[in-house]
Amino acid sequence: MFKFSPYHALTSEQNDACNVIINDIIHKLDNKLHGISVIKGEPGSGKTILLINLIYKLVNGQDIEINDDDLDNDSFLSYDLSTLLSLKAFAKAYPKKLKIGYVSPMAALRETLGKVFKDIKCGLSKSLVIGPSEAIKSIDEPYDILIIDESHRLTTRKNIQNYKSFQDCAKLLNLDDKKTNQLEMLLKSCKYAVLVYDENQSIKGSDISNDDFNRLTKDAKIFELKNQLRCKGNKNYIKYIDDILNVRDINKLTFDENIFDFKIFTNVNDLVNRIRSLDNKFGLSRVCAGYSWPWISNGLSLLEAKKENKYDINIDGNRYIWNIKSDNFILDNSGNETIGCVHRLQGYDLNYVGVIFGNEITFNKEKNIIEINKNNFYDINVKKSVDTLTLKNYILNTYRILLTRGIKGCYIYCCDKNLEEYFKKYIDLA
């Protein structure tokens, strides 16, 4: 997964941000000050790429030996020389080796990152990749630097599944578990934090609120990434998706299918077969859906689910199984035969993505608005204790995430025929 390689070349805006952050880390730690940097940007703007390059430089830059004859070596080409020299001088004077952690709130992403760090042998180890609780529970030996991906998915205590762990972490830090959140706890567990944040990728009530995030990071350095590095379609693709989902009056954009194939299907099995064929040809192609069907196959392997006839999704007689809990939906072969939910896709890049709009999202032709049917939405922890408008925002954010996973193309199917007709005004028929 090239995205997660530290050898990924940075754009000038990424490289500038990386150098400023490293120098700010040096300044803050040298002067015993607490520091925060926040990296913002739309899906596909290269936030995670920047984080991985940053941790690579911080971990390896401390130990690189610099000789004049070696300055053209690949080991140095990714560094700004003055930044590298400053980092080495700082690390030499620092009383101990820097303790650094890469925090991801999502287990699936942690698993993938850990595997990549282990396999590519670039000085980064699997042990660097940790969950929020693991970082917080190291308070007796706090981290110097925490690099926190997808920080919009850090939680409050509201509607979380593992409340006991959250409560234990709050107690360690003498915080009120009813008022605190994982971001506050992580900031107290390190000397410097680098955060990736996109408020439009918050998808459930337990996610930290935008108000709380802004309050806790009011003194942070802010970096906004503007380039679109994922979707090869029209440079305005992300805004186009937002406009369509929010039913704004816009002109139709055209896409060259040889660069980015953006189509709508009227038959769900045609979409599924197209994605499976593309996965066999190019790899990293998956079908995903909104949470419009209960997960009756939960806990079963793919073979067991088929044997016990535990198919989760039924669309016009076409039956499918949700992603297998014990498998990596993106990397394992079972991902080609199952349908993924947002929790298995957030943070990943795919070559092609197929997105099924479920029965929980419809189009009201009379009112000219997209509506949500709460009764057809089965993520209990998301819809618990939220009003209809908030739930609609979470669901639209979910589809926005799914629609922006593809590098080479995105295909859509709608269970609601009114929604299909609305989308056809803006998306070509397959």
Provide the 8-state DSSP code for 193: E
**Mean predicted lDDT score pLDDT of the chain:** 92
pLDDT value at position 77? 47
pLDDT value at position 419? 99
- pLDDT at 35 > cutoff 90: yes
pLDDT value at position 159? 75
pLDDT value at position 75? 47
pLDDT value at position 3? 60
pLDDT value at position 76? 47
d(CA 299, CA 302): 10
pLDDT band at residue 55 under the 50/70/90 scheme: very high
pLDDT band at residue 233 under the 50/70/90 scheme: low
Average pLDDT over residues 234-259: 91
Closest by alpha carbon to 84, among 31, 7, 18?
Answer: 18
pLDDT value at position 7? 64
pLDDT value at position 67? 59
Q: 269: exposed, middle or buried (C-beta count within 10 Å: 0-12, 13-18, 19+)?
A: middle
pLDDT band at residue 79 under the 50/70/90 scheme: low
Average pLDDT over residues 192-218: 96
pLDDT value at position 269? 98
Please answer whether residues 208 and 150 qualify as being in contact, where contact means their C-beta atoms are separated by less than 8 angstroms.
Answer: no
Domains of the chain: 2-225 (3.40.50.300), 237-429 (no CATH)
pLDDT value at position 234? 60
pLDDT band at residue 240 under the 50/70/90 scheme: very high
For the stretch 306-344, pLDDT in tens is: 999 999 999 999 999 999 987 789 988 889 999 999 999
Closest by alpha carbon to 61, among 76, 50, 71?
Answer: 76
pTM of the entire predicted model: 0.89
Mutual orientation of helices 12-30 and 47-61 as an angle, nearest 10°? 50
- pLDDT at 22 > cutoff 80: yes
For the stretch 80-133, pLDDT in tens is: 888 888 998 998 899 899 999 999 999 889 998 998 888 877 789 999 999 999
Strands 313-315 and 318-320, sheet pairing: antiparallel
- pLDDT at 288 > cutoff 50: yes
DSSP codes, 160-175: -S-HHHHHHHHHHTT-
For the stretch 351-378, pLDDT in tens is: 999 999 999 999 999 999 999 999 999 9
Please answer whether residues 143 and 189 qualify as being in contact, where contact means their C-beta atoms are separated by less than 8 angstroms.
Answer: yes
